[in-house]
Structure 1
Amino acid sequence: MLMTIVRGVLRQARRHPVYVGLDLLGLALGIGVFLSLALLVRYEYSFNAGLPDAERLVRLDERWTEAGVAPMEEADATFHALPFLRRDFPEIEDAVPLLETTFRTGQGGQFTAFNGYETDSSFFRVFGIGLSRGVADDALSQPDGLVLSEKAAMKAFGTLDVLGRRMELNRSGTRSVHVVTGIMMSVTGPNLLANAEMVVPIPPEEARTRSCFLHWSSSCGEVFLRLKKPEDIGAIRARMRDFVIRNASGAAGDHVAIGPHPEKIYEIVVVPLREAHFHDAGVDDAEDGVDRNVVNAIGLIGFLALVLGCANTVNLATARAGLRAREVAVRKTLGATRRLLFAQFMGEALFVTALAGIVGLVLCEILTPEIASLTGEAVTVSYGFVLAALPVVVVLTGLASGFHPATVLSGYRPAAVLAAARMPSGGRGAARLRNILVAGQFAIAVAIVICTLVIDRQTAFMRDADRGYVKSGLLIGQPLRGNDAAQERRMLDALRSVPGVAAIGFGELEPRPHSMSRSAYKYAGPNGPVDIQILFDRVGPGYFEVYRPRLLAGRWFDPARGQDEGPDADNLRDGTGSFNVVVNAKTIATLGFATPGMAIGQVLTNDGLKARIIGVVDDMRFVSPRDPVSPEIIFFDTLARVPFVDPIPAVRFQGVTRAVMAQRLDRAWASVRPELASSFQPADERMEMYFTGDERRGHLFTLGAVVALLIACMGLYSLAAFSAIRRVHEIGIRKALGASGGQIAALLLRDFLRPVALACVLACPVAWVLMRSWLSGFDQRVPLSPLHFLIAIAGAFLIATLTVLGQTLRVARAEPARALRAQ
């Protein structure tokens, strides 16, 4: 039987090489794309799975629900809760704070950056990570301890034999000397610690003075728990609300507590570490999050590519089934049974699919590195997974693509076939099936194309959309640590003196992820008091000239007007004083003003602190296009009384290239703070993380669209080829009766394109629902324009026309006498 199957495949390849080649290529494309995208989906779903006992690890998030602000969940949690958690939950085996930090080592004014964490000695017990050198229990027991990854050890010293070596670390300008006490073993697979190069103990002084260690309402890092059993997650969740009420409650003047009823605005969320990768798609301060629906959509594209390959095989096999009808009739006359023939044809389908699987494996090798490059993920070909999955894929694909053709072929009746002058067509049912398959293939392809167009348009829009400030000619530096007013003035003078600088100003917020410093204000409006949570920013002279926000009403701050000077530390602490402020358009809308001008002169209050609105600017988007812009209040500071808190310098330049200006600014920075690294960047580079994920996944949809269209065109080509053969006699008669070649071509094109039209009708509502849901996740988004659908439909008809044009013209030009004689 095996030799019969092989001979049958080789005979078909000799007789009909185009059909067999299209069949093999379609299946190979489907299998290759499926395996490549399956590797990506497997990678995303395996996030954190490589950590020992990952099912017992959880992260604590904070969820805030405050008046005037959309509910917000943060991946960071207060470290102040740790002793209370250990006391109140016996299910907790251990807990650890994790403060992500960038460490630098400097030499000759050049800095080498290392990603890492500040933590405590429970780090290795919680995450179960071993050391290849050193003792885990002792590695972080001393304040000057330092654990390196193997990569960091080679990067810093060029060897792994580094125990006892000393390193001077620079953390945002603060220097400290550490002794290497261990080398971390790497953890397999993607995980939250994959990029950790250094781990050091939290400085004791920081633990004593930093607010996130002292107050419930302050957070600066993540908290992880290791539970005794995975089932304990439910028990902790059930008692977490009572835990918050019991420990975070306090009187209104208690700065440690959240308030008399913390449970009304504050919640601690328990997130299993295995679920965090998908959970974090909607969480602030989380960088590894990805939308599960997007990952599932990518997996669906891979599956649909496989389905399209199978449909293409069915179409090609049924199209040429009539060509094998006489072979089947003769074999049945000589005694072959239907079961035997069915087994042979199924064997041929499985054999061709196996060959396609080998080609698909080669395509997987080629596509996977490209997919890794497009997505930025460290996806590799895992041969254990691929070699286990490939036989299953080949068998299922072979059965799915071969069952119907084998049933049709083995069902031919010898007498009817041998007595007929023409090859059998399979009847209307077979023709309807072929049309349905082509329509289904193009429906999938057109839907993916529409989704691709919308995703590409949205990602381009996110980069180019108006953000409320002028991006061109703008460079933004790093936070200037130290809170030293004299040093801040020296920095302003040094940067202002750089040739090419047109304006310079300080602000405390910047276009990138930042901690939200909010204040609760009231407005005693005509319809009663309104409570609003407002994002706080403080800016200096030159800020307006640097960012150039649009002034909608009123005026900007004037350094000559003393009332414009913002509150100092005493004012903020005591809640006293009256000051002029500028607010954004979102604040005006939240307060209920019909126009910005109506807000000028109105007063917002925070206990005894009064803020009089003197100006309204358009919303400046410093956050992701997915997130709504927050109400914002801006105070003015001339550096006459108090320093800024970690101010961020922004520079508007002209007459010089961006690269040259950045170098000049970095040198000027180093003249004031040589110990603190700086990197002046355009706003787009600081917002890069907001765009790259959608852009990279959009590339995958583009790949899926190309593959889907290619396979769909193969199916349409097979339908056109079959129809051309079947309709030669009909066309001969039509031409003999006076039909022109153009009329014949139009008739054939209309028939060939009818399944494509049906496909477009089916694809458009599906794509509209999918993209409407996807776009709803963006606060700033493009409209779902009919243009996207029209372009996809026009493209589908154009490609389909080009696919069948050759067959159409060949048949339309055939001589009537020859066509009728051939029948």
Structure 2
Amino acid sequence: MLTTILRGALRQARRHPVYVGLDLLGLALGIGAFLSLALLVRYEYGFNAGLPGVERLVRVDEHWTLAGIAPMEEADLSFLALPFLRQDFPEIEDAARLLPSALRTEQGGTFTKFDGYETDPSFFRVFGIALSRGVADDALSRPDGLVLSEAAAMKAFGTRDILGRRVELNKAGVRSVHVVTGVMAPIHGPNLLARAEMIVPIPGEEARTRSCFLYWGSACGAIVLRLRTPEDISAMRARLRDFVIRHASGADDDRVAIGPHPEKIYEMRLVPLRRLNFYDVGVVDSDDGVDRNVVNAIGLIGFLALVLACANTVNLATARAGLRAREVAVRKTLGATRRVLFVQFMGEALVVTAVAGIVGLVLCEILTPEIASLTGEGVTVSYGFVLAVLPVVVVVAGLASGFHPATILSGYRPAAVLAAARMPSGGRGAARLRNALVAGQFAIAIAIVICTLVIDRQTAFMRDADRGYSKSGLLIGQQVLGGDLEQERRMLDTLRAVPGVSAVGFGELEPAPHAMSRSDYKYAGPNGQVSIQMLFDRVGPGYFEVYRPRLLAGRWFDPERGQDEGPDADDLLKSRGSFNVVVNARTTATLGFATPRQAIGQVLTADGLRARIIGVVDDMRFVSPREEVAPEIIFFDTLARVPFVDPVPAVRFQGVARAEMAQRLDRAWASVRPELASNFQPADERMAELFVGDERRGHIFTVGAVVALLIACMGLYSLAAFSAIRRVHEIGIRKTLGASGRQIVSLLLRDFLRPVALACVLACPVAWVVMRAWLSGFEQRVPLSLQPFLVAVAGALLIATLTVLGQTLRVARAEPARALRAQ
């Protein structure tokens, strides 16, 4: 039987190379796309899976429900909580604080950046990470210890044998000498530590003075716990509310506490590390998470590509089934049973699918690196996974694509076939099936195309959308650390003197902010007192000229008006004084003002501090398009008496190329703060990390759309080829009765495009629902217009027309006499 199957498959390849070639190519494309996208989905679902004992690892998040802003969850937690957690929860086996840090080495004025963490000596015990060199338990026990990844060791020294080497690090201008005490072994698979190049102990001075170590409600890093058993997660969750009440409560004037009833606005949550990749999409201060629905959609595209390929095979096999009718009739006459023929035809389908599987594996090798490049993920071909999945795919696809054609072929009746003048077509049922398959193929392809177009529009909108300030000609630097008033003045003067600079200004908030200070303000209006949480920003002279925010009502600050001068640190700490402020449009809407103009002259209070609104600016979006712009209060600082707190310089320039201006500014910066690295960037580059993930994954939909359309066109071509053969006699009669070639072409195109038109009707509502749900996850988004739907439908009809046009013209041009004689 095996020999008969192989001979039958080879004979079909020689007799009908076009059909068999299309069959193989369609299946190979489907299998290759399925395997490549399955590898990507496996990669995303495997996040943190390589960490030993990951089922016992949890991150402690904090969730805030504050007046005036949407509830938010933060991945960072006050480090003050850790000793109390150890004390109250015996379920904790070990714990580590993770303080993200940008560590740099300096050589000849050139800085090399290394991403890493300041952490506790327990770091390696918590995460179960092995060292390829050094002893994990001792690596961070000394205050000057330093552990590098193998990649960082090669980057810094060109070798992994670096134990005992001395390294001078520069963290935000503060230099310290460390000794290499370990080199981390690579961790299998994607994980939250994949980008960690350097690990150092938390400096003792920082732990004694930094607010996130001293106060509840102040956070600068994450706390990760290793529990004794996975079941301890639910046991701890049930007691966290009481824990917050017990340790975070205090009087209103207690700076350490959150308030007398912290449980009303503050909650601690345990997030298993195994879930972080999807969970962090809506979490502040976390790495860029991935929308689970997007990953599932990518996997669905891979599956649908395989389904389309199988449907294409069914269509092709059905189309040429009539060509084998007489072969089946003769074999049955000679004694072959239907069961034997069914097994043979199923075997041929499995052989073709197996060959397509090998070609699909080659395509997977080609597609996977491209997908890794498009997504920025470290996806590789895992042969253990692929070789385990491929046989299953081949068998399932072979059975799915071969069952129906084998049933039809083995069911032919010898007498009816041999007595007929024409080859059998399968009847109306087979014709409807073929049309349904084509309609289904194009419906899937069109839906994917529509989704791709909408995703492309949204990602382009996120990159180019109006953010409430002028991005053109704007460069933004790094924080000027240190709190030195004279140094901050000198930095401003130096940057202003750079040729091509038209304005320079300081602000404490920045595009893609790393930390945001919030304060509670109250407004006593006609409808009662309203309390809202507001972002705090302090800006200096030149800020308005640099960012050019849109003034909706009132005026901007004037350095000549003493009342515009904002509070110093002592005024803020003791909540005293009266000052003029500018707020954003979200503030006026939250306070209930019908127009921004109504807010002018109104007073906000924070205990004894009074803030009189003199201006309202449009919302300036410094955050992700997925997040709401928060209410914001802006104070003014002329640098006359107090320094800023880590201000960010912004520069507006003209008449100079951006790259050249950035170099000039970096040189000017180095003349004032040579110990502190600077990198003046456009706002778009600073914001890119907030939407580049969506943009990259949108490229996968483009690949899926191309593959789906290609396979669908193959199915349509098979239907056209079959119909062309079946309708030669009909066309001959029509031409004999006077039908013109144009009429014949119109008739055939209408019949061929009918399933494509049906596919458009089916695809549009589905795509509308899916994209509407996806866009709802963005606070700033494009409208779901008809344009992508019309483009996809028009494109599908055009591609379908071009696909069948060759067959249509060939049949329409046939001579009637020859066509009738052939029948």
Is this contact kept in 2: 1:519–1:534, CA < 8 A?
yes
Question: How many angstroms does 1:157 deviate by?
Answer: 2.0
Is this contact kept in 1: 2:288–2:690, CA < 8 A?
no
Match of 1:764 in 2: 764
- The SS at the match of 2:610 is strand
Matches within 5 A, 1:402-413: 402-413=402-413
- The SS at the match of 2:137 is helix
Match of 1:725 in 2: 725
Question: How many angstroms does 1:807 deviate by?
Answer: 0.8
Question: How many angstroms does 1:184 deviate by?
Answer: 1.4
Deviation per residue, 1:480-528 (Å, 9 max, x gap): 1101111100101111111110000000011113322111111111111
Distance 1:686 1:380 in 2: 29
Match of 2:465 in 1: 465
Question: How many angstroms does 1:221 deviate by?
Answer: 0.3
Deviation per residue, 1:212-257 (Å, 9 max, x gap): 1111111000100001011111111111111111111111111111
Match of 1:392 in 2: 392
Distance 1:513 1:759 in 2: 46
Question: How many angstroms does 1:308 deviate by?
Answer: 0.2
Letter in 2 for 1:763: A
Matched, 1:573 2:573: yes
Question: How many angstroms does 1:119 deviate by?
Answer: 0.5
Question: How many angstroms does 1:158 deviate by?
Answer: 2.2
Distance 2:738 2:650 in 1: 78
User: Cα RMSD (Å) of the superposition?
Assistant: 0.8
Matched, 1:120 2:120: yes
Deviation per residue, 1:166-186 (Å, 9 max, x gap): 111111011111111111111
TM-score (norm: length of structure 1): 0.99
Is this contact kept in 1: 2:121–2:140, CA < 8 A?
yes
Question: How many angstroms does 1:583 deviate by?
Answer: 0.6
Matched, 1:333 2:341: no
Distance 2:551 2:263 in 1: 39
**Which 5+ residue runs of structure 2 have no aligned equivalent?**
none
Question: How many angstroms does 1:30 deviate by?
Answer: 0.0
Match of 1:286 in 2: 286
- The SS at the match of 1:687 is helix
Match of 1:254 in 2: 254
Letter in 1 for 2:581: V
Distance 1:299 1:566 in 2: 54
Distance 2:812 2:181 in 1: 82
Question: How many angstroms does 1:161 deviate by?
Answer: 2.3
Letter in 1 for 2:559: P
Letter in 1 for 2:183: I
Question: How many angstroms does 1:47 deviate by?
Answer: 0.6
Letter in 2 for 1:156: A
Distance 1:130 1:813 in 2: 74
Letter in 1 for 2:96: V
Matched, 1:478 2:478: yes
Match of 1:675 in 2: 675
Match of 2:156 in 1: 156
Match of 1:368 in 2: 368
Letter in 1 for 2:541: P
Distance 1:306 1:342 in 2: 23
Question: How many angstroms does 1:738 deviate by?
Answer: 1.3
Letter in 1 for 2:317: A
Match of 2:20 in 1: 20
- The SS at the match of 1:633 is strand
Matched, 1:444 2:444: yes
Question: How many angstroms does 1:463 deviate by?
Answer: 1.1
Match of 2:68 in 1: 68
Is this contact kept in 2: 1:192–1:288, CA < 8 A?
no
- The SS at the match of 2:440 is helix
Match of 2:302 in 1: 302
- The SS at the match of 1:139 is coil
- The SS at the match of 2:277 is helix
Distance 1:138 1:438 in 2: 65
Deviation per residue, 1:399-427 (Å, 9 max, x gap): 00000000000000101100111100101
Is this contact kept in 2: 1:26–1:309, CA < 8 A?
yes
Deviation per residue, 1:629-655 (Å, 9 max, x gap): 111110000011111000000000011
Letter in 1 for 2:702: T
Question: How many angstroms does 1:288 deviate by?
Answer: 3.6
Question: How many angstroms does 1:736 deviate by?
Answer: 1.3
Matched, 1:176 2:163: no
Distance 2:44 2:790 in 1: 34
- The SS at the match of 2:61 is strand
Distance 2:42 2:789 in 1: 32
Distance 1:437 1:513 in 2: 51
Matched, 1:91 2:84: no
Is this contact kept in 2: 1:511–1:623, CA < 8 A?
yes
Distance 1:715 1:19 in 2: 11
Distance 1:460 1:669 in 2: 33
Letter in 2 for 1:367: L
Distance 1:152 1:24 in 2: 46
Match of 2:538 in 1: 538
Match of 1:754 in 2: 754
- The SS at the match of 1:138 is coil
Deviation per residue, 1:319-364 (Å, 9 max, x gap): 1000000000000000001110000000000000000001000100
Distance 2:787 2:164 in 1: 65
Match of 1:785 in 2: 785
Distance 1:501 1:176 in 2: 35
Deviation per residue, 1:146-175 (Å, 9 max, x gap): 111122222222222222221111110111
Distance 2:109 2:239 in 1: 52
Matched, 1:352 2:352: yes
- Aligned CA distance change for structure 1 residues 595 and 288 (closer, same or farther; 3 Å): closer
Matches within 5 A, 1:32-47: 32-47=32-47
Letter in 2 for 1:702: T
Match of 1:773 in 2: 773
Letter in 2 for 1:614: I
Distance 2:331 2:513 in 1: 73
Is this contact kept in 2: 1:50–1:190, CA < 8 A?
yes
- The SS at the match of 2:260 is coil
Distance 2:152 2:462 in 1: 36
Distance 2:171 2:237 in 1: 36
Match of 2:648 in 1: 648
Match of 2:618 in 1: 618
Distance 2:595 2:585 in 1: 9
Match of 1:185 in 2: 185
Is this contact kept in 2: 1:104–1:111, CA < 8 A?
yes
Is this contact kept in 2: 1:167–1:179, CA < 8 A?
yes
Q: Judge which range, 569-578 or 401-410, deviates more.
A: 569-578
Letter in 1 for 2:8: G
Match of 2:147 in 1: 147
Distance 1:186 1:425 in 2: 61
Match of 1:502 in 2: 502
Distance 1:574 1:79 in 2: 24
Letter in 1 for 2:411: G
Matched, 1:741 2:741: yes
Question: How many angstroms does 1:691 deviate by?
Answer: 2.1
Is this contact kept in 2: 1:285–1:513, CA < 8 A?
no
Question: How many angstroms does 1:664 deviate by?
Answer: 0.6
Distance 1:158 1:797 in 2: 58
Match of 1:216 in 2: 216
TM-score (norm: length of structure 2): 0.99
**Which 5+ residue runs of structure 1 have no aligned equivalent?**
none
Question: How many angstroms does 1:732 deviate by?
Answer: 1.2
Letter in 2 for 1:273: L
Distance 2:434 2:158 in 1: 64
Match of 2:589 in 1: 589
Deviation per residue, 1:562-586 (Å, 9 max, x gap): 0000001121111111100011111
Question: How many angstroms does 1:9 deviate by?
Answer: 1.1
Letter in 2 for 1:320: R
Matched, 1:713 2:732: no
Report the count of equivalent residues.
823
Letter in 2 for 1:808: T
Match of 1:492 in 2: 492
Percentage of identical aligned residues: 83
Matched, 1:517 2:513: no
Letter in 1 for 2:185: M
Is this contact kept in 1: 2:288–2:693, CA < 8 A?
no
Match of 1:799 in 2: 799
Match of 1:273 in 2: 273
- The SS at the match of 1:645 is coil
Letter in 1 for 2:267: E
Distance 2:341 2:73 in 1: 63
